[in-house]
Amino acid sequence: MRLPGLGTWKVLSNHLLLRWSFSSSHMHLLPPDLLPPEVCSLLNPAAIYANNEISLRDVEVYGFDYDYTLAQYADALHPEIFSAARDILIEHYKYPEGIRKYDYDPSFAIRGLHYDIQKSLLMKIDAFHYVQLGTAYRGLQPVPDEEVIDLYGGTQHIPLYQMSGFYGKGPSIKQFMDIFSLPEMALLSCVVDHFLGHGLEFDQAHLYKDVTDAIRDVHVKGLMYQWIERDMEKYILRGDETFAVLSRLVAHGKQLFLITNSPFSFVDKGMRHMVGPDWRQLFDVVIVQADKPSFFTDRRKPFRKLDEKGSLHWDRITRLEKGKIYRQGNLYDFLRLTEWRGPRVLYFGDHLYSDLADLMLRHGWRTGAIIPELEREIRIINTEQYMHSLTWQQALTGLLERMQTYQDAESQQVLAAWMKERQELRCITKALFNAQFGSIFRTFHNPTYFSRRLVRFSDLYMASLSCLLNYRVDFTFYPRRTPLQHEAPLWMDQLCTGCMKTPFLGDMAHIR
């Protein structure tokens, strides 16, 4: 590719064309001084990442959710949930037998996607409510970008009123926020795919509700609990690390509590497996079947005490005792009885809405989000392929921004080629994470809607609770000062926290 004969562009060609490849298939030709070896593997998958400054020295009370927080589950659980819900649809909701041919595909969906019920559209939305083009699916088939734009009145933007529900449930759009929603999204897409593929008429709202109810039945009927209880070695991960975290906190004088929606018998068996028969002695308060998120907002439900067999007691609860088990209740009574308030409490959960949102925004607790996908995403970010792709994307973006002032035909041809290559690189980078939807944290360049909620509702986030073992109990987490757009005018300056060298910036200073 030949650059126009402009003085400024000659400067660029000396630095770029002789040292960089314009082809994404030759990204390995990027020079060492552009991408130093130490740039890769900068991120630690076992690290804790801070959205807000927080000192563990100030935290006296630690709270935990159970599922996907204290108990991490293997991905092998998802096909079981999918198959059971699929069979419920066929046998109890009388859906077509042909649906049984579908199996769970773990590579299809990612957490944080939105589903437009009336349009049967599963899609990824960014922090500004724009659909990321190329990530909209009806059933198992991608929807062309032009059709997506047409469906929303000539724009990629989803109006706020459709998405403004506090718990991710707008009037016509649902956001899938927890890890258990992965098999739900897969089943929903498979059922829609079958109906469309066979030309069957259906009501989108009825289909969505039936699939959601079938997934709910798997939980309500206790099927998932039975699978896990039968083979805890298979389904529960990092149990020894959970025990180490809890024991360490207690040894340093911290108070612990558990608030979970799961039933006592299930939690008891899981905790015995991970921690041992005396697990309740580690916790000052244990609450099961809490019915979050209404636990945080509904003042009407009182606490009920359970005995060892899970039977309810009738006596009024005037204090929450260590070693005892309580059911339901509400946060307001919890705060009154424990006097655990404000930033000295740190609560961990995996669901940004049901576990964390109310606690941070309404009650001032510190919050920690457990994001298991973080470990895999960081490992991808640390690869040379990702770093090379991102580096060249940023370089192309900077060139496009600065050179767009040249309007001659030759310049416009070069700009068009750069634009095309940039889009190709973005698609390649997206596919590194997930072929259909990309990363759960980013669209091509903006944070996802999921990321926006993660930043708003959590002080800390990490791949698993065991990450706490890598830090002292008095450690202070400092969020990185990420530059605002007006603070970092040059794209390349932002890469790798200043590690990236930019050999041509000095020569470009006169056109900035």
Instruction: Give the tens place of pLDDT for each residue, 6-38.
Output: 444 443 444 344 334 434 344 444 444 454 544
- Number of neighbouring beta carbons within 10 Å of residue 264: 20
Does 329 have pLDDT greater than 60? Answer: yes
Question: Can you give the pLDDT at residue 120?
Answer: 95
Does 4 have pLDDT greater than 60? Answer: no
- 3-state percent breakdown (helix, strand, coil) of the chain, nearest 5: 45, 15, 40
Burial 221-254 (b: 16+ CB within 10 A, else e): eebbbebbbeebeebbbbbebbbbbbeebbeeeb
- Asked whether 339 and 167 are in contact (CB, 8 A), the reply is no
What residues are annotated to the active site? 65, 67
For the segment 451-478, the average pLDDT, to the nearest whole number, is 96
Q: Is 116 among the annotated ligand-binding positions?
A: no
Question: Can you give the pLDDT at residue 401?
Answer: 86
Domain extents in the chain: 55-67+238-373, 76-229, 379-439
Beta-strand relationship, 366-370 and 460-462: parallel
From the list 427, 348, 325, 259, the residue with the least C-alpha distance to 56 is 348
Confidence of residue 166 (pLDDT cuts 50, 70, 90): low
Q: Does the reported pTM lie above 0.85?
A: yes
Convert the pLDDT of each residue in 63-83 to its tens digit.
999 999 999 999 999 999 999
Confidence of residue 254 (pLDDT cuts 50, 70, 90): very high
Inter-CA distances, 389 with 25, 28, 110, 210, Å: 10, 10, 22, 42
| DSSP strands (E only) in 362-457 | 366-370
Helix (H) or strand (E) holding 316: none
- Asked whether 138 and 226 are in contact (CB, 8 A), the reply is no
Of 43 and 288, which is predicted with more confidence? 288
For the segment 402-414, the average pLDDT, to the nearest whole number, is 88
Of 153 and 24, which is predicted with more confidence? 153
Convert the pLDDT of each residue in 72-116 to its tens digit.
999 999 999 999 999 999 999 999 999 999 999 999 999 999 999
DSSP letter (8 states) at residue 109: -
Question: Can you give the pLDDT at residue 501?
Answer: 41
CATH superfamily of 55-67+238-373: HAD superfamily/HAD-like (3.40.50.1000)
The region, left, alpha or beta by phi > 0 then psi within -120 to 50, assigned to residue 44 is beta
Backbone dihedral angles phi then psi of residue 108, each to the nearest 5 degrees: -80, -60
- Asked whether 124 and 131 are in contact (CB, 8 A), the reply is yes
Q: Is 350 among the annotated ligand-binding positions?
A: yes
| DSSP strands (E only) in 188-271 | 236-237, 255-259
Q: Which residues pair with 460 in a beta bridge?
A: 50, 368
Convert the pLDDT of each residue in 309-324 to its tens digit.
778 888 888 999 999 9
Confidence of residue 402 (pLDDT cuts 50, 70, 90): confident
For the segment 137-157, the average pLDDT, to the nearest whole number, is 95
Inter-CA distances, 406 with 9, 41, 51, 70, Å: 10, 39, 41, 58
Q: Is 408 among the annotated ligand-binding positions?
A: no
- Asked whether 137 and 105 are in contact (CB, 8 A), the reply is no
Of 487 and 155, which is predicted with more confidence? 155
Helix (H) or strand (E) holding 347: strand 345-349
**How far is it, in rounded angstroms, from Cα 144 to Cα 100?**
28
For the segment 124-133, the average pLDDT, to the nearest whole number, is 94
Average pLDDT over the chain, rounded to an integer: 86
**How far is it, in rounded angstroms, from Cα 380 to Cα 384?**
9
Percent of the chain with pLDDT over 70: 85
- Tell me which residue has tokens 């939305």: 125
- Of 126-135, 147-156, 157-166, 174-183, the poorest mean pLDDT is in 157-166
- Asked whether 366 and 459 are in contact (CB, 8 A), the reply is yes
Beta-strand relationship, 366-370 and 345-349: parallel
